[in-house]
Structure 1
Amino acid sequence: MDLEIFDDTNSVPAEKIQLVKDVLEFSGKYLELPEDTEMSVTLMNNEQIHEINLKYRGVDKATDVISFAIEEDDPDELPIILPDDVDFEEPKNIGDMMISMDKVKEQAEYLGHSEDRELGFLTVHGFLHLNGYDHMKAEDEKVMFKLQRDILDAYGLKR
């Protein structure tokens, strides 16, 4: 995967950033995504994610993870036209994810597991949203949460 990871807190340890990268690479392979799949992750604090949550979702509080999937096949988008002799496939950009590192710490403490487990969980959760999974309906939640658990267990981040 082609990942861009930004630390807007300027304080996330390199090991945590590497964990996010490793979990996303593993998850991409687990879902059999193309190698050139692109996405970004921004690690931020509660104040920053609160602003985004309010602006884009109308929810006036901090949250743990927000995903913005990029809609593919926009009918209003002009196609890229290349000469016939050029073999080119545009990489698939699945979107952007924001994770509150404050929430990682708070929720890990509350749930009684490691911050790595919580960061991995939120990373996979947001990643699945970017790949079209949701939990608005009970049957969808069952599918998404099982897949989430399967990925985390296979990676080795068990509760």
Structure 2
Amino acid sequence: MTLSLEWIDEREGGAGPKEEAWMELLERLLNMAGEAEGVDDGIVTVTLTDDEGIRELNRQFRGLDKPTDVLSFSLVETVGEEPLVRFDEEYEGTDGESGAWEDETDAGDPFSDMLGDIVISVPRAEAQAAEYGHSFERELGFLFVHGFLHLLGYDHDNEEREREMFSKQEDVLAKAGLTR
């Protein structure tokens, strides 16, 4: 298996021709960031939304009733040096019934390939690109790589960890030609 990107566009009007170019960019960045981090396979879902959509998620999951630029929902839990994928031992069937897998050896782990979800507010990314004086593609790439690193357990909750995470982001973006 390889790294793959699933795409959801929740904005009114949905995706168009310009979003196809964004998808290609994000797939390339996913592979570059994955290579830099030694992640060879997995599935990442990226959702494009508006400020209201991300505000609702921010309120629901972080208790902050305001829009933000990017949110990450990791399905990977780090234990020591080895990532541990979190999943329930039960699943929800298509008919609405819930229960354990009948034959776990044949069914496999339905979530083992999922690294997590990244949600990006397109209006916020557009505003930040203008504010910082760089292209929208650079801002979108920054937010995506930032979100991807969060999926892998990186954080910026102190100065040292922020330096490490932002250095990794900038390395990937520079390699992709997305400089300020």
TM-score under structure 1 length normalisation = 0.86
In the alignment, what sits opposite 1:57? 62
The one-letter code sitting in structure 2 at the alignment partner of 1:31 is E
Q: 2:31 matched to 1:25?
A: yes
State how far apart, in whole Å, the 2-side matches of 1:3 and 1:75 are: 20
Q: CA deviation at 1:76?
A: 6.9
State how far apart, in whole Å, the 2-side matches of 1:17 and 1:40 are: 11
State how far apart, in whole Å, the 2-side matches of 1:48 and 1:26 are: 28
In the alignment, what sits opposite 1:157? 178
Q: CA deviation at 1:89?
A: 8.5
Q: 2:61 matched to 1:44?
A: no
Q: Which consecutive residues of structure 2, in runs of 5 or more, have no partner in the other structure?
A: 78-83, 91-99
Number of aligned positions between the proteins = 154
Q: 2:142 matched to 1:121?
A: yes
State how far apart, in whole Å, the 2-side matches of 1:76 and 1:22 are: 31
Q: Which consecutive residues of structure 1, in runs of 5 or more, have no partner in the other structure?
A: none
The one-letter code sitting in structure 2 at the alignment partner of 1:132 is G
Structure 1 residues 38 and 11, CA gap change in structure 2 (3 angstroms):
closer
In the alignment, what sits opposite 1:2? 4
Does the 8 A contact of 2:4 with 2:27 survive in 1?
A: no
Deviations 1:119-142 (A, max 9, x none): 010010000000110000111111
Which of structure 1's runs of 4+ aligned residues deviate more than 6 A?
none
Q: CA deviation at 1:25?
A: 2.0
Q: CA deviation at 1:149?
A: 0.8
Q: CA deviation at 1:19?
A: 1.5
Deviations 1:76-135 (A, max 9, x none): 74798427xxxx897432111100100110000000000011001001000000011000
Structure 1 residues 55 and 20, CA gap change in structure 2 (3 angstroms):
same
Greater share of strand residues, 1 or 2? Answer: 2
**% same residue:** 40
State how far apart, in whole Å, the 2-side matches of 1:129 and 1:110 are: 24
Root mean square deviation of aligned Cα:
2.3
